[in-house]
A and B are shown apart, each in its own frame.
Chain A
Amino acid sequence: MTFEPKIVGFLCNWCSYTGADLAGTSRIHYAPNVRIIRVMCSARIDPTFVLKALHDGADGVLICGCHPGDCHYSEGNYKMMRRYPLLKSLLADYGIEDERVRLEWVSASEGQRFADIVNDMTERVRALGPSPVKAALEADLAER
Chain B
Amino acid sequence: MADDKLQIAIYWGAACGGCDVSILDTDAFILEIDKAADIRLWPIATDGKYKDIEALADGELDVAIMSGAVRNSENERMAHLLRQKSKVFVAYGSCAYMGGIPSLANLVPREEIIKRAYLSNASLEPGNTTVPRPRTSLNGYDLELPEFYPRVYKLDQVVDVDYYVPGCPPQPGQAQIAITALVQALTGQAEAPPKGSVVGAYERALCDDCKRTKAEEKKVKRFYRPWEIMQDPEVCLMEQGILCAGSATRSGCGVRCPDSGIPCRGCYGPAPGVVDQGAKLLSAVASIIDSKVAEDIDEILLTLPDFTSFANRYSVAASPLQRSHRR
Contacts and interface: CB of A to CB of B under 8 A. Distances in A.
A136 B325 CA distance: 9
A140 B324 contact: yes
A55 B320 contact: yes
A12 to B, nearest CB: 16
A68 interface: yes
Interface stretch (B192-200, B234-242, B261-269, B291-299): B291-299
B248 to A, nearest CB: 11
Contacts of B324: 136-137, 140
| Range of interface residues on B (Cβ < 8 Å) | 20 to 34
Interface in B296-321: 297-298, 301, 307-308, 311-312, 319-321
A133 B311 CA distance: 19
Contacts, number: 91
B325 A140 contact: yes
A143 B149 contact: yes
Contact of A136 (B287, B292, B312, B322): B322
Interface string B259-292: 0000000000000001110111011011101011
Interface in B224-248: none
Interface residues of A, number: 33
A85 interface: yes
A108 B301 CA distance: 31
A94 B107 contact: yes
B279 A48 contact: yes
- Of the listed residues A47, A82, A96, the one surrounded by the most CB atoms of chain B closer than 10 A to its CB is A82
Contacts of A91: 321
A75 B149 CA distance: 46
8 contacts: A48-B320, A51-B320, A51-B321, A52-B275, A89-B301, A89-B307, A90-B311, A96-B321
Given A55-B323, A90-B311, 11 more contacts: A46-B280, A47-B279, A51-B279, A54-B321, A82-B286, A86-B301, A90-B307, A136-B151, A137-B323, A143-B326, A144-B325
